[in-house]
Structure 1
Amino acid sequence: MLKETVEIKVDYEKAGVSSEGCAPVLDCYYNTLTEEIGRKKHKAIIICPGGGYDWCSEREAEPVAFRFLGAGICAFVLRYSCVKKKFPTDALECGAAVKYVRDNAEKFDIDPDKIIVCGFSAGGHLAATMANFWNSELLTKPLGCNPEDIKVNGSILGYPVITSDPEYTHEGSILNIIGEEKSSELRELVSMEKRVSENTPPTFIWHCADDGCVRVENTLWYMCSLSKYHIPFESHIYEYGGHGLALCDETTATWEGHYQPVAAHWAEAAIDWVHRL
């Protein structure tokens, strides 16, 4: 296994957002190329940890990357800029990360048409944003690229923040990306169940029914939108487990409540889904 960390370059000025405090980096985990195994053109997954757009959880970063890498999927962890700023700052950073991975497909021995975004909680919102905005000028124009350069071929969403509906959203996450002006138009724009279209890629999504932080309605509404547009998806709603489980096992558990053997099935199911994608 090889690892390297690269800085992600974004021209924030072109997007009309501030670059203050922005320093995104991408940790790249990929398999050592050997003559015995040869090139495989692996699938790739870009992981966006959660943290309410305030910070990036380490529990939802490298441990998750190792789990996918062990299954033959090249893994990348995006540590996006967690400072209060206006949308689409983080989405631009995620788009630039997708472009970097695609541009370096030969180096990492990956299939450039099999790049998946994965996110947890607020990182799930970021992954869903990338899945729904990859062909939007809101991203392509500032990044100076074509939609195909930042197209994602699938998304994996774990207990994601999806809606901006005040009754069901995680308000802290939404306020962190719409900024202090609290624009109603911007709030509407970042409600991901309303951004699904025929261009949204296949999706794997999971949640716990008793999540008291990000309510399960976020996932249920997103599923309804995917169904409306006939987007293939696989979903798993677990009876209990709460929020922030990451891998749900001893690998990432910080206390007893984060160890849920039943919900831990999500990782195996997601890996199988990626292989079938």
Structure 2
Amino acid sequence: MKTFSILVLFFSFSLAAQVSTLPLWPEDEMPNKQKSDEKEDINQDDITWITKVQKPTLEVYLPPKASANGQAVLVCPGGGYAGLAYDWEGTEIAKYLNSKGIAAGVLKYRLPGSASVKESFKAPLQDAQRGIRILRANALDWNIDKNKVGVMGFSAGGHLASTLGTHYQEAFYSAIDSTDSEEIRPNFMVLVYPVISMDSKITHQGSHDNLLGKKPTAALEKQFSNELQVTENTPPVFLIHAGDDDVVPVENSLRMYTSLREHGVPTEMHIYPKGGHGFSLANEIYYLQSWSDRLTDWLRNLN
């Protein structure tokens, strides 16, 4: 009986998801960094809210090997480029993906307003590019197919995810080790109530100002209006938005969808009439709960 109990315990651990947290950058080799007295702040009230990120990380969630389907997702929490809704739009999403056999890496990325960052708009993308490379560099050990690695982002994290998927032609930092030989283009994008455009008519002004400053050049606004950066080589996209979103107008997703269609990029979009902004998995909004099922169907179809 004792032997049986030990075996059951071992079997339970072997089936459990594995979680580990890795630094994005080797010590003293983080690009775009400057010295400051700023300290990272983590507030844990209703959600875990992180600001002033000093040490960006990738928190990796791996499903049991027996259920792993080879897909992996870099998860970018939102927060208006002012903070990160780290559990609400990060770790809870990773757990959901694991339940579907998908590996996930939650990105704790640097924020553009940090005193420890030199060039504001570059830091989040540098961290995202490094994050997806880490997933691919560890593909063999983590039961990941390098050709099935995508990115998922919520709100401003959706802007970061869509930036990663439309600005992959070059890295925003110089290579520092073998990890940086990996591809930065995601194989697919999942954009949930995303900020897409920097156009003042439809953008989320807080995300715009935090990322680019209050008076950026027209060229910089165009560069980070990601509906304008779509090409025929942009990876397939899954879009979710609520029509009554009064924080990030639904026109962000509509413009992105139109641009993707015009360039022949495979795209699926779901617009719900109600839901507002920031609903995450929508566990308390019955008519929105099924959006994650639609995502699962779409991800399976990619295979």
TM-score range, shorter chain: 0.7 to 0.9
Q: 2:25 aligns with which of 2, 6, 9?
A: 9
Could you say what secondary structure the match of 2:253 adopts? helix
**Does residue 1:103 correspond to 2:137, yes or no?**
yes
**Does residue 1:170 correspond to 2:195, yes or no?**
no
Kept after mapping to 2: 8 A contact 1:22/1:83: no
The one-letter code of the counterpart of 1:2 is Q
- Computed over aligned residues only, the root mean square deviation of the Cα atoms, in angstroms, reads 2.0
Q: 2:110 aligns with which of 70, 81, 97?
A: 81
**Does residue 1:136 correspond to 2:170, yes or no?**
yes
Identify if the C-alpha distance between structure 1 residues 46 and 19 changes in structure 2 by more than 3 Å, giving closer, same or farther. Answer: farther
After superposition, give the CA deviation of every residue in 1:172-211 in whole Å (9 maximum; x if it has no partner).
1011111366233212211111011112100000100000
**Does residue 1:25 correspond to 2:53, yes or no?**
no
TM-score (norm 1): 0.87
Query: 1:18 Cα shift?
Result: 5.0
Distance 1:45 1:162 in 2: 19
The match for 1:59 is 88
Which residues of structure 1 form unaligned runs of 5+? 250-258
Query: 1:32 Cα shift?
Result: 3.6
Distance 1:77 1:3 in 2: 11
Q: How many residues align?
A: 259
Q: 2:149 aligns with which of 106, 110, 115?
A: 115
Could you say what secondary structure the match of 1:241 adopts? coil
Identify if the C-alpha distance between structure 1 residues 12 and 174 changes in structure 2 by more than 3 Å, giving closer, same or farther. Answer: farther
The one-letter code of the counterpart of 1:51 is G
Kept after mapping to 2: 8 A contact 1:12/1:89: no
Q: 1:267 aligns with which of 292, 296, 301?
A: 292
Kept after mapping to 2: 8 A contact 1:17/1:86: no
Distance 2:56 2:33 in 1: 15
Distance 1:19 1:218 in 2: 36
Query: 1:31 Cα shift?
Result: 2.4
Kept after mapping to 2: 8 A contact 1:46/1:117: yes
Identity of aligned residues (%): 33
Query: 1:62 Cα shift?
Result: 1.1
The one-letter code of the counterpart of 1:207 is H
After superposition, give the CA deviation of every residue in 1:14-69 in whole Å (9 maximum; x if it has no partner).
xx675766421110000244xxx4x8552001110100011110211111111110
Q: Comparing 63-72 with 20-29, which one deviates more in the overlay? A: 20-29
Which aligned pairs between 1:210-249 and structure 2 lie closer than 5 A? 210-249=244-283
The match for 2:40 is none
Q: Structure 1: which 4+ aligned runs deviate by more than 6 Å?
A: none
Distance 1:99 1:5 in 2: 15
After superposition, give the CA deviation of every residue in 1:214-254 in whole Å (9 maximum; x if it has no partner).
000000000011001000000000010100000001xxxxx
The higher-RCO structure (CA 8 Å, 6+ apart) is 1
Which residues of structure 2 form unaligned runs of 5+? 1-16, 37-52, 114-118
The match for 2:77 is 49
Q: 1:124 aligns with which of 133, 158, 175?
A: 158
Distance 1:9 1:17 in 2: 11
